A and B are shown apart, each in its own frame.
Chain A
Amino acid sequence: MTQDRSLSERGTSPAKRAAATPSALAVRAAGVSKVFATKTGDVPALSEVDLEVAAGEFVALIGPSGCGKSTLLRLIADLDQATTGTLEIFGKPAKRARADQDYGIAFQQAGLLPWRTVGANMSLPLELHGTGKAERVARVAELAELVGLTDFIDRYPDQLSGGMQQRVAIARALAARPKLLLMDEPFGALDEMTRERLQTELTRIAAETAAAVVFVTHSIPEAVFLSDRVVVMSPRPGRITDVIDIGLGEHRDEALRESPEFFDRVTAVREALHGSPVTRAGES
């Protein structure tokens, strides 16, 4: 049973909650464990993880290095296989979901193919699934518009800045119109300015596409700014220790970063990460 984090308790909007019948779950993980076999013995990376992500919901996975947040994301993406437990994406096994392109994925490295233009990189998933050329061209135009790279479709990745490359990677992840977006620290290698701008853009893109997002990060403000819920994980073995409803509403903008509610949630996540109340400056 994973009903302790049932749908009605989530800080999602009423519209999302109404749609969140069990069949509309984007991700359902129950008792998922992962053990890596190494020469020096088995290393447990994830232990008994239960997680449900509703359709359209934005969930951040946060925790220190080695807490298994990336491992969990890779299991959802079927890039690795769980040792035990069940994992369903839109009610299907992860392998089926991958074959059906039910999700798009972006990593910390943009991972663009250097010999392909920006447009050809964006349309790679479509090409792999035999989408016709005319349709691909139309979709690339839409995607480029969505991520603000319309003027760069014919450029090559090495002519783009890191932030622009990451936008291409996000556009590629969205190419096949997936209802689930998996992101593994996609802004981790970017400077703070670029990072905040892309965060704002991502909230807009997530709202426009109505896709659920599972977002791995180790930045507390990033997790709070983006998410409906923040899942806090801890290492040795990797497990979920807390789930925090953010409830800052649908609309996220720069003003939110300065608001008291934002700082409240940041504090809540920080306390959950440290496992104890954090003493504030001036309150001793």
Chain B
Amino acid sequence: MTDAATAALPGPSPTIVRGSGSAPGQRRLPGWLRWVAPLVVGALIVLAWWFWVDVLGTAPRMLPSPFAILEEFVRRWPIIAQDMAITATNALIGLVIGSLLAMLFAGLAAAARPLDGMLAPLVSALAVIPIVAITPILNTMFGASSQFGRQAVATIAAFIPVFVNVLRGLRQTRPVHRDVLRASAASGWQTFRMLTLPTALPYLMTGLRIASSLAVIAALVAEYFGGPADGIGTAIATYAKSGRATLAWAYVLGGILIGLVFYLVTSLLERLATRRSPV
């Protein structure tokens, strides 16, 4: 009884609309409000932060005011941009190579059952290992002046979600579509190109979106474990240790920007790939 009654109730969204004080009878949030609402929340958080640091003055010493961080970011932009380029390049190389390898192996696994049986446990093992844990070893292996260790970590981090999603996507073709292509005497390659690949594309894009964030995180965190003295992560660690809080935070902002760009670009690709809903 209770469950049925609860299920019959309207979803939470109309309640929110009513609570947000929009005109009576208006059921959907207007488009602009969906953009403005999170911005307002963000602004409120920044204001509270500023109030705590600059007005109350009770914040810890390592937490400067948001405006001081922004000012520092603008002033130090030339050196921050250099380090951002290092980290972003490592993440991008990792994302591209990891994704390409993942597509290759997912294709092999989808094509041959025995290969799938060999690869699946390996990928599961890779997925549960905290990849950054091996970074110090890689750094020592390839020398303190090589970015290779960081790129390798980003590659492994990006590989897993792309592999899992592409492999799933390659198996999503619907029986009726396979029948249509078979009835039209399509060759194996034609079926792959015209059905299997387009079906898997949205899954690839989802994998890429997840992998893009992971690659950035992996490339950045890997810098905490040695290697060359450049990159966002190295700078944050250095300036945090030497007490230059504002500059450390400005670098954090740089890291956020890299992550945001990677995420937005791959999200856009995903939306383009999934705009045609299945019928």
Contact = CB atoms under 8 A, between A and B. Distances in A.
Contact of B184 (A109, A110, A128, A160): A128
A172 B181 CA distance: 11
Nearest to A182: B183
B195 A113 contact: yes
B198 A115 contact: yes
A128 B186 contact: yes
Given A107-B176, A124-B194, A114 B278 contact: yes
What bracket does the count of chain B residues touching chain A fall in? 10 to 19
Interface in B228-279: 276-279
Q: Is the interface of B mostly helix, strand, loop or mixed?
A: helix
B99 to A, nearest CB: 21
Contacts of B190: 128
Interface string A34-62: 00000000000000000000000000000
Contact of A156 (B180, B198, B276): B276
Contacts of B277: 114, 158
A115 B173 CA distance: 13
B183 A105 contact: yes
Interface in A248-268: none
B179 A107 contact: yes
Interface in B19-47: none
B39 to A, nearest CB: 32
Interface in B141-186: 174, 176-177, 179-186
Interface string A76-94: 0111000000000000000
Contact of A77 (B174, B183, B186, B198): B183
Contacts of A158: 276-279
Given A113-B195, A124-B194, A105 B179 contact: yes
Interface in A99-122: 99-101, 103-105, 107, 109-115
A110 B279 contact: yes
Contacts, number: 62
A109 B174 CA distance: 11
Nearest to A165: B279
A104 B183 CA distance: 7
Contacts of B278: 114, 158
A195 interface: no
B69 to A, nearest CB: 45
B48 to A, nearest CB: 45
A157 interface: yes
Contact of A115 (B180, B183, B276): B276
Contacts of A105: 179-180, 183
B185 A114 contact: no
Given A158-B277, A158-B279, A111 B186 contact: no
Interface string B186-218: 100010001100100000000000000000000
Given A111-B179, A113-B177, A101 B184 contact: yes
Interface in A122-167: 124-125, 127-129, 156-158, 160, 165
Contact of A111 (B180, B185, B194, B198): B180
Given A113-B195, A113-B198, A128 B185 contact: yes
Contacts of A107: 176, 179-180
B182 A111 contact: no
A165 B190 CA distance: 23
B194 A113 contact: yes
B183 A98 contact: yes
A79 B279 contact: no
B184 A111 contact: no
Contacts of B174: 111
B176 to A, nearest CB: 4
Contacts of A99: 185
Contact of A114 (B181, B183, B184, B279): B279
A103 B180 CA distance: 12
Contact of A101 (B185, B194, B195): B185
B175 to A, nearest CB: 9
Contacts of A165: 279
Contacts of B177: 111, 113
A166 B222 CA distance: 55
Nearest to B191: A128
A168 B176 CA distance: 15
A115 B275 CA distance: 9
Nearest to A109: B176
A100 B183 CA distance: 10
Interface in A170-200: 172, 176
A107 to B, nearest CB: 5
A124 B177 CA distance: 12
7 contacts: A101-B184, A104-B183, A111-B176, A114-B276, A114-B278, A124-B180, A158-B279
Given A79-B183, A107-B180, 8 more contacts: A98-B183, A98-B185, A103-B183, A111-B180, A113-B194, A114-B277, A128-B184, A172-B180
Interface of A: 77-79, 98-101, 103-105, 107, 109-115, 124-125, 127-129, 156-158, 160, 165, 172, 176
Leading 7 A-B pairs by shortest Cβ distance: A111-B176, A125-B184, A114-B276, A157-B279, A105-B183, A109-B176, A99-B185
